[in-house]
Structures are given as structure tokens and as C-alpha cells.
Amino acid sequence: MGSADRIIRIIVAAIVGFLYFTGTISGTLGIILLILAGIFVLTSLISFCPLYAPFGIRTCSINKKE
């Protein structure tokens, strides 16, 4: 996972957390978004997204050895 992807995930998680704890989003939708935000933070911290592997998506640059 690339740096830009990790930063975007953390920003989105922070925004969702802020909206949830200020009461802007609530109920079932709020809980689902809060769980999703937690997953975003976790995947950012470990730099791996399990959904990227089956689809072959890479957001980081790969250095080629010659």
C-alpha cells in the first residue's frame, strides 16, 4: 500500500470518527461507517489491504533490481 493510499484512508477515518462523535451520523449507518473507519486505520497501520490481493492492485511503487 502506497503512502498516498494510507494517508487518504487515515483522513477518511478521522472525518468519519469526527462526524460520528459529534452526532452528525448516527444509528446503524453511523456504526457501520465507524467500523469501516476502524478497518481503514488498521489497514493503514499494517500497510496491507486484503481486498487488493485478489484483484492484483498495487498502490506502491516497486523498485526493480537489475
Number of domains, the chain: 1
Q: Is residue 24 part of a domain?
A: yes
Domain residues for the domain of 49 are 3-55
Q: Is residue 23 part of a domain?
A: yes
Q: What is the distance between the alpha carbons of residues 54 and 11, in angstroms, rounded to a whole number? A: 25
Cβ contacts of residue 29 below 8 Å, gap of 6+? none
Q: Is residue 66 part of a domain?
A: no
- Report the Cα 60 to chain-centroid distance in Å: 15
Q: Is residue 64 part of a domain?
A: no
Among residues 18, 48, 47, the alpha carbon closest in space to that of 33 is found at: 18
How large is the C-alpha radius of gyration of the chain? Answer: 15
| Whether residue 28 has pLDDT greater than 90 | yes
Q: Is residue 25 part of a domain?
A: yes
- What band does 3 get if pLDDT is binned at 50, 70 and 90? confident
- What band does 34 get if pLDDT is binned at 50, 70 and 90? very high
Q: What is the pTM of this model?
A: 0.76
Q: Is residue 12 part of a domain?
A: yes
